[in-house]
Chain A
Amino acid sequence: MSWYDTNLVLIQASITGLLLALSIQVPLRMGVFSFAGVGAYGIGCYAGAVLVLDHEMTALPTILITTVLGAVVVLIVGLLINRLNGLTLAMATVAFDLIISVVAINGGETTGGATGRYGVITDFTMTHMWTFLVVVLVLVALSERGKIGRRVDAVRDDPELAASVGIRVRRYRLVAFTVSGALGACAGAMNILVRSAVTPLDIGFHLIVLALTMIIVGGSLSWKGAVIGAVVFTWLPDVLQVIGEWQELVYGVIVAFAAVLMPRGIYGLYVQGKLAVLRRRRAGSSEVRAAMAAEEARESGDDGPHVESTMAEAAHRGDEPMGAKL
């Protein structure tokens, strides 16, 4: 047996994990801190099982229908909670995900209660899986480049400024929800088609943690980061078999260290390293150095001007109470 065949299960898990991670990363890149994609993953798993078992559908229509279903459901959720921001938005979507898992437990015949649904067998092949993956990756990669990429960056970094130059921020945010729902549901449907069973335990809180750690450890600003994260966290438990029962502990330590030491993830480290090498190589030419400095400023999120503006802001705000005191 070839390496590909022996590790097929892990490869499949990497692909569904990657799509799940992307379903959180795409909204995050637009400044929407939403875990609704994980809820869509749960919907995808169960809808996939129901369509195959109760309506005898084949693989392709199942995936397409569940993807659309996930997109619509998460879009509706997005319309409801579009006013929220930051942590409150994150918590609302976490609540949405957990409600889905409680519904799965209480769904009776449709969801199979605590035992879940099993025996989902279709004509789904690896060719289908790779095709879906490539299509999704190309679309996501395109959204990071050119005009759309710059608009997405603007919506994330400064929504007010983006709105003032005519970017419809609200529309971008709703698109973020929709895409997140579609990606999550697609990942869920593929997961049920390759694993043939789902229980409420599969879609609990730990799935949110897993998807989040994937993009945090990998890198949150590019799909390449999601790929790195998905591969690392799918294969890590296998590698950590050596450590055996302490693998959970090691996993926690890695996540904690990544959060503290690598805020941009592994991919962020790679970008910084590449910039450092380029700078050393071209140190002679001042022109190039200026260009590099500009690029570095962009990569590190415009630290320079940002600090200044905060200071100015603080001074400005400090004015009033001080004046009042005097």
Chain B
Amino acid sequence: MQDLLSVVTLGSIYLLFALGMSLTWGTIDILNFSHGSIFMFSVFSGYLILEHTTLPFVPVLLIGIAVGAVMSLLVQVLAFEQIIRRARDKRTAEMQVLIGGIGIAIIPLAIAQHNTHSVPFGLRESSFTVHTWQVGDLRITNIAVITIVLAAILWAAMAFWLRRSRQGLALRAIGVDTEVASLMGVHRRRLALATMAVSGGLAGLAGILFTFGLGAITAESGDTLLVKAFACIILGGVGSMRGVAFGAYVLAACEVWVLTQTSGSWVEAVSFGLIFLVLLVRPTGVFGRKEVRRT
């Protein structure tokens, strides 16, 4: 039972983080490699602010979301839009975006590493404290409850919005065919910016919750999470909201299982193994949509 609870908590963090990546990848075709750095830098900003003041939980959370959203917007405007404007076809654009993201990811990482000397940093100075409740045999922390509930609500809201609202429809249309969507009057640039902001905000939120739950993270934590988010997205299928939730909890379950069965050192291989296996057996993922064939 305790293991199941760890699975759900871990899976919820993965879900919050991977949701943003899946959204941009599935709709506006941006595989954002700086997502992990944005995640880390939101926490880092919170850490810097909490060094000087004491803030309650909600403002810290909002700061994380705001920093993530703003960084994501900057990356989109300064780098990805320029790359896509210059690229001669979709394939080269995809690749340049990937590489640009890798380059950009190094910048916040270097700043954080420089300031913390690669020592883990946390959000301890806030007025929020982690309580542990005992329910029967189960130990559960308040931050775990908040994480699980927020992940569930945000995921459901996102899935509902994508499926039911006009903007969601427009976004899905872009994901299927950009040119036709533009012909149908979809304002591509505005939607792309909004999507990136939402994605960055989710990264910031995941970062703050993750750090409160764990106590501290290092500057490199974002990169580790990046690979896991890939595993979640590929496992479930790119762009599928059901898929990313499935991927997040399955990955968390596999990792917790491996952790309890073996010594910890194989855990890192779980996500890579899953990526490889899924691509081998079912390249579009478990809930993946059919590739749109263009002739």
Contacts and interface: CB of A to CB of B under 8 A. Distances in A.
A246 B86 CA distance: 30
A102 B98 contact: no
B175 interface: no
Q: Which of B94, B98, B104, B272 counts the most A-chain CB atoms under 10 A from its CB?
A: B272
A237 interface: no
Interface string B4-41: 00000000000000000000000000010000000000
Contact of B179 (A86, A98, A314): A314
Given A86-B94, A263-B96, A252 B276 contact: no
A258 B276 contact: no
Nearest to A258: B103
A106 interface: yes
Given A91-B234, A95-B276, A251 B79 contact: no
Contacts of B177: 317
B154 interface: no
Given A105-B265, A256-B79, A306-B89, A321 B106 contact: no
Contact of B283 (A88, A252, A253): A88
Interface residues on A, range: 35 or more
A81 B282 CA distance: 11
A260 to B, nearest CB: 5
Name the prevailing secondary structure of the A interface residues: helix
Interface in A143-167: none
Contacts, number: 139
Contact of A303 (B79, B88, B94, B106): B88
B96 A87 contact: no
Nearest to A250: B110
Contacts of A213: 99, 102-103
A254 to B, nearest CB: 8
A276 interface: no
Contact of B272 (A95, A209, A310): A95
B44 interface: no
A26 B187 CA distance: 39
Nearest to B106: A252
5 contacts: A98-B269, A102-B265, A102-B266, A256-B103, A317-B180
Given A94-B275, A252-B104, 11 more contacts: A81-B279, A87-B94, A95-B275, A95-B279, A96-B272, A98-B269, A209-B102, A245-B114, A246-B114, A263-B96, A313-B294
